[in-house]
């Protein structure tokens, strides 16, 4: 059985994607950008604040699927400037210190919005 989980982002129907998709015990959370409830970028220029916001948005999707951050088995953190990885690592460590998912940091050339400095993807597996 497949369950698509929406976050309400106006980009979801435009692009044709879901914030997360659950199939069996697996939940995959799409690339999540630091967008506030008002539709504006959270923490312009602040990798730490943007990383926290991305994790918060992803956590809402995970909870919508009936799971928790404890079920995260992999994270991917995408940056426009990999030299700032420690700022994101601090935010990631605050939320995942005891969970310790497999994690990858990758530099990309840019995102849809030039104010976004980071995006995060997460994979979960239900117990």
Could you give the CA distance from residue 30 to residue 32 in angstroms, rounded to a whole number? 6
> What's the CA dihedral at 28, 116, 83, 76 to 10 degrees?
0
* CATH fold for the domain made of 2-125: 60s Ribosomal Protein L30; Chain: A; (3.30.1330)
Reported as a single tens digit per residue, the pLDDT across 51-109 is 999 999 999 999 999 999 999 999 999 999 999 999 999 999 999 999 999 999 999 99
- Report yes or no: 19 and 29 within 8 Å, Cβ to Cβ: yes
Could you give the CA distance from residue 19 to residue 5 in angstroms, rounded to a whole number? 6
Do β-strands 72-79 and 26-32 pair in parallel, antiparallel, or remain unpaired? unpaired
Reported as a single tens digit per residue, the pLDDT across 97-121 is 999 999 999 999 999 999 999 999 9
Beta bridge mates, 1: none
What are the extents of the domains in the chain? 2-125
Could you give the CA distance from residue 32 to residue 15 in angstroms, rounded to a whole number? 14
Could you give the CA distance from residue 10 to residue 111 in angstroms, rounded to a whole number? 16
The pair of three-digit structure tokens given for residue 40, joined into one six-digit string: 């504006």
Reported as a single tens digit per residue, the pLDDT across 18-44 is 999 999 999 999 999 999 999 899 999
Beta bridge mates, 38: none
At 7, the pLDDT band (50, 70, 90 cuts) reads confident
């Amino acid at each position: 059985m497949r369950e698509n989980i929406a976050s309400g982002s106006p980009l979801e129907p435009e692009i044709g994607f879901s914030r997360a998709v659950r199939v069996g015990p697996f939940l995959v959370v799409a690339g999540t950008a630091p967008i506030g409830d008002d539709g504006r970028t959270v923490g312009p220029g602040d990798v730490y604040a943007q990383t926290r916001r991305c994790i918060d948005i992803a956590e809402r999707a995970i909870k919508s699927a009936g799971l928790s951050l404890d079920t995260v088995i992999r994270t991917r953190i995408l940056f426009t400037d990999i030299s700032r990885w420690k700022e994101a690592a601090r935010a990631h460590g605050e939320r995942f210190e005891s969970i310790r998912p497999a994690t990858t940091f990758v530099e990309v050339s840019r995102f849809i919005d030039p104010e976004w400095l980071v995006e995060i993807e997460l994979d979960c597996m239900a117990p």
